[in-house]
Chain A
């Protein structure tokens, strides 16, 4: 029998603030982190984003030379991962053999753009190495392993918007196959011109704030941040007296093999991922108490996602609350899956149902869905699902359960 996997620590950096306490307060208060885009000048159709506030503390426990050169997403990752390890009570000895999985999409692209811009404007004659060492997506794992002294198995995955949901799944797999007893999964991404201009060119951005599941929804709002999750062999956690925040019940992953940006019209991959997650957890639709949706706010995604939920959960869907955290955090791309796993853990652990804050007039096509509106609700949940669907048809659904106490 493979070991059971539990979650014993979480960390978060988002537009709602630099730690889990700020995220929790923001979820309960129904705050929206989406505001004016200030990180760089941009002339296009849109000018909003869910930016991480500058006040978020910089790195901890890295050499000063490394700290000076951290890209924004590497700094977010370090802050979130440090928090998750601290909350899980992972000392040096427990971190040493831990596995590390990171999901990200653009690495230090923002800093790289700055270098290129200065060079192009003639402000610098040559490219500056220090502003480019953080360019690859793999640097977050490198920084984390150095700063936190993690020597176990390590991988960085990039499957667009499901990257860090997949990182969480891979961390659970590492524990189940016995490669590690503790695994850290981190998702991180920072806003950059490339991402912003790309989504704008796709006409995928809402010019104001995204409104998932709303009749008037026009697109997504980009966000940034990092989420971190400590997964652990349940026996190991019990033996050391760790506080379990949620149980990892299973996950499913499947691919659309359909289009570079559009979801499969019938949600074939999303459907298969959701079914596989339920099967992996031995769960019937009757067991599901909450769905933290992918819920981007694009017309296509939300329509396909509701169809998938209806197909899999059937008549049960009417009694299952559904919400889209992207209405508060923006779409954090490579960080979204880990951040939404953190939100789902909080839903189970704190008994909260976070709202879809911008929802005013639900899409009639969602009439049979119990969409959670502001100010959210309180509920004792047993099982919650969180889905992440990446461009290119990379679909992941994770099933989590409330910790037994």
Chain B
């Protein structure tokens, strides 16, 4: 799976998994996922950990890793590409 495919997948997961009323392609690549743009809160964060772990078979064991992984869509793509098995 290449970088663009993972990015599209991540955006799809955000939009449908968190039931956001936005088109996946309009989610910005470089803004913080938990910034102003998407209106997410701390419960969404716990939810997103589960969604990302299950979808991409990576582990986000604590807040520190989460902060790094969720810094932006691009950061999350980097994290998935680096961490996922195989």
Contact = CB atoms under 8 A, between A and B. Distances in A.
A133 B43 contact: yes
A63 B47 contact: no
A146 interface: no
Query: Is the interface on chain B under 10, 10 to 19, 20 to 34, or 35 or more residues?
Result: 10 to 19
A66 B43 CA distance: 9
A372 to B, nearest CB: 44
A128 B41 CA distance: 15
A65 B39 contact: yes
23 contacts: A63-B39, A63-B41, A64-B39, A65-B39, A65-B40, A65-B41, A66-B41, A68-B18, A68-B19, A68-B20, A69-B43, A125-B54, A126-B54, A128-B47, A128-B50, A129-B43, A129-B46, A129-B47, A130-B18, A130-B19, A130-B44, A130-B47, A133-B43
Contacts of A130: 18-19, 43-44, 47
Interface string B2-33: 00000000000000001110000000000000
A126 B39 CA distance: 24
Contacts of B44: 65, 130
Interface of B: 18-20, 39-41, 43-44, 46-47, 50, 54
B6 to A, nearest CB: 20
Interface residues of A, number: 13
A212 B19 CA distance: 42
Nearest to B51: A128
A166 B39 CA distance: 37
- A-B pairs, top 8 by smallest CB distance, nearest first, are A64-B39, A65-B41, A130-B47, A125-B54, A68-B19, A126-B50, A129-B46, A129-B47
Contacts of A64: 39
Nearest to B50: A126
B68 to A, nearest CB: 21
Contacts of A133: 43
A156 B37 CA distance: 35
Nearest to A69: B43
Interface in A50-106: 63-66, 68-69
A128 B53 CA distance: 13
Interface string A115-141: 000000000111011100100000000
A131 to B, nearest CB: 9
A129 B50 CA distance: 9
Nearest to A133: B43
A94 to B, nearest CB: 28
Given A68-B20, A130-B44, 18 more contacts: A63-B39, A63-B41, A64-B39, A65-B39, A65-B41, A65-B43, A68-B19, A69-B43, A125-B54, A126-B50, A126-B54, A128-B47, A129-B43, A129-B47, A129-B50, A130-B43, A130-B47, A133-B43
